[in-house]
C-alpha cells in the first residue's frame, strides 16, 4: 500500500538526545518513498515560522484524509485553489487581546478572528488527499467537552458558563448549516492515546527521516480497515474484563463512520516523536502489540498475555506523559 513520505522538520522540545541509526539498521528516508508533496500545519509552524511562535507542546494527531475528487464541486474547487496556492498561508505574528477578560472577571476562551479554512494535504501516487482543519468546530466542541469532564469545583474557573453557552449556540448553528460536519482530526498533547492503536497494525507503520536528521513515526491505513479493526476490538472487549474500555473504542468507530469510505487514516506521532531517540522509535511497535493483545482476547487465550502486551504500550506512553508535569 503506498504511503506518504513525511518531510516536515520537527522541534526537539525537550532536547532529547537524537541518535543516528546503527550501521545497517533498516529505516526509511523521505527520498525513498513515492513522489509525495504535502502541506501541513506543523510544517509551517516549525520550518517557516520565527522561533517565537514555534509549538512548545508536542502533539500527536489522528487524521482522516478524504480524496480530493470525493468532495462536492464547491469544496473541491476551494481545495484545488488551496493546493495550487501552495497550501496554508505562513502564520502571522501573534495578536494579543486588548482586554484579557470578559464580564465578571473571567477569561474569554473563544477568539473572534477566523483565519479561514485550511487543511493538511497528502499527495499519494498522483492522488490528493485532504484533511480540513475545521479549527472553529474543534475549538467549540473542545470547550463543551472540557466543561463536561472538568472536576465540579473547577468547572467555572476552566470554562465559564457564559463561554460554554456561547460555544453551544455557535456549534448548534454550524450543525444546522452542515449536519454532517465533524472534526477531521483528533489531537493529543504529549502522547498517543493507547486506544488509537486499535485502528492500525505493524505493516502500516513508517519511521522516516527528514532533511534535518530528525525522525517521525506514523501509520497510514485505509479507513475501511480501521473501522473493521475498531468493531473487532469492540466485540472482543465486551466479552472480557476490559469492557469499560469498550466505550472509548465505540466512540472512535462512530467517528470514523462519518467519513467517505475511500478516505485514509493517519496516526501521526508528529512532534511527539521528538520526545524519543531513534532507538526508542525503532523499538516502538505499539500498533502491532495492541493488535496482538486483541487477538489473544478474541481467541479466548490467556488474559495475562493480553494484559502484558497492553501494559508494555501503556507504560511507554505513561513515561512520555510524565514529561508534561515537568513542563
Segment 40-69, tens digit of pLDDT = 433 333 333 333 344 578 999 999 999 999
**Residues facing 65 on adjacent strands:** 264
pTM of the model: 0.75
Cβ neighbours around 188 below 10 Å, total = 17
Any idea where the domains of the chain sit in the sequence?
28-92+105-133+184-322
pLDDT digits (tens, 9 = 90+) for 247-300: 889 999 999 999 999 999 999 999 999 999 999 999 999 999 999 999 998 887
* Contacts of residue 251, Cβ cutoff 8 Å, sequence gap at least 6: none
Cα angle 199, 133, 317 (rounded to 5 degrees) comes to: 40
Mean pLDDT split into 10-residue runs, the chain, 327 residues:
48 38 42 41 34 64 96 92 78 48 48 66 93 83 74 77 83 74 87 95 92 88 97 87 79 93 96 92 95 88 84 89 70
The CA distance from 116 to 133, in Å, is 10
Phi, psi of 142 (to 5 degrees): -70, -40
Contacts of residue 324, defined as CB under 8 A and 6 or more positions apart, other chains included, come to: 189, 190
Sign of CA dihedral 119, 120, 123, 128: negative
Amino acid at each position: 500500500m503506498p504511503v506518504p513520505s513525511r518531510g516536515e522538520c520537527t522541534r526537539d522540545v525537550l532536547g532529547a538526545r537524537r541518535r543516528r541509526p546503527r550501521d545497517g539498521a533498516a529505516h526509511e528516508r523521505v527520498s525513498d518513498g513515492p513522489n509525495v508533496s504535502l502541506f501541513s500545519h506543523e510544517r509551517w509552524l516549525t520550518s517557516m515560522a520565527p522561533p517565537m511562535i514555534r509549538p512548545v507542546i508536542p502533539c500527536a494527531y489522528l487524521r482522516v484524509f478524504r480524496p480530493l475528487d470525493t468532495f462536492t464541486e464547491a469544496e473541491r474547487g476551494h481545495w484545488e485553489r488551496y493546493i495550487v496556492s501552495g497550501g496554508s498561508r505562513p502564520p502571522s505574528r501573534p495578536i494579543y487581546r486588548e482586554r484579557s477578560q470578559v464580564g465578571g472577571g473571567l477569561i474569554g476562551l473563544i477568539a473572534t478572528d477566523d483565519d479561514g479554512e485550511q487543511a493538511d494535504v497528502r499527495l499519494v501516487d498522483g492522488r490528493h488527499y485532504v484533511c480540513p482543519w475545521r479549527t472553529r468546530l474543534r475549538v467549540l466542541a473542545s470547550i463543551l467537552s472540557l466543561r463536561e469532564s472538568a472536576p465540579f469545583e473547577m468547572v467555572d474557573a476552566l470554562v465559564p458558563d457564559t463561554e460554554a453557552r456561547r460555544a453551544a449556540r455557535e456549534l448548534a448553528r454550524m450543525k444546522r448549516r452542515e449536519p454532517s460536519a465533524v472534526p477531521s482530526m483528533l489531537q493529543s498533547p504529549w502522547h498517543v492515546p493507547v486506544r488509537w492503536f486499535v485502528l492500525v497494525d505493524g505493516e502500516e507503520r513508517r519511521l522516516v527521516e527528514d532533511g534535518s536528521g530528525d525522525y517521525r513515526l506514523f501509520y497510514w491505513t485505509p479507513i475501511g480497515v480501521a473501522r473493521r479493526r475498531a468493531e473487532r476490538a469492540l466485540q472482543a472487549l465486551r466479552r472480557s474484563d476490559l469492557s469499560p474500555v469498550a466505550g472509548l473504542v465505540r466512540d472512535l468507530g462512530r467517528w470514523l463512520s462519518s467519513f467517505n469510505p475511500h478516505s485514509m487514516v493517519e496516526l501521526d506521532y508528529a512532534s511527539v516523536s521528538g520526545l524519543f531517540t531513534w532507538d526508542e522509535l525503532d523499538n516502538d511497535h505499539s500498533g502491532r502489540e495492541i493488535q496482538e493483545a486483541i487477538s489473544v482476547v478474541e481467541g479466548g487465550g490467556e488474559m495475562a498475555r493480553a494484559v502484558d502486551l497492553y501494559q508494555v504500550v501503556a507504560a511507554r506512553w505513561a513515561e512520555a506523559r510524565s514529561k508534561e508535569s515537568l513542563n
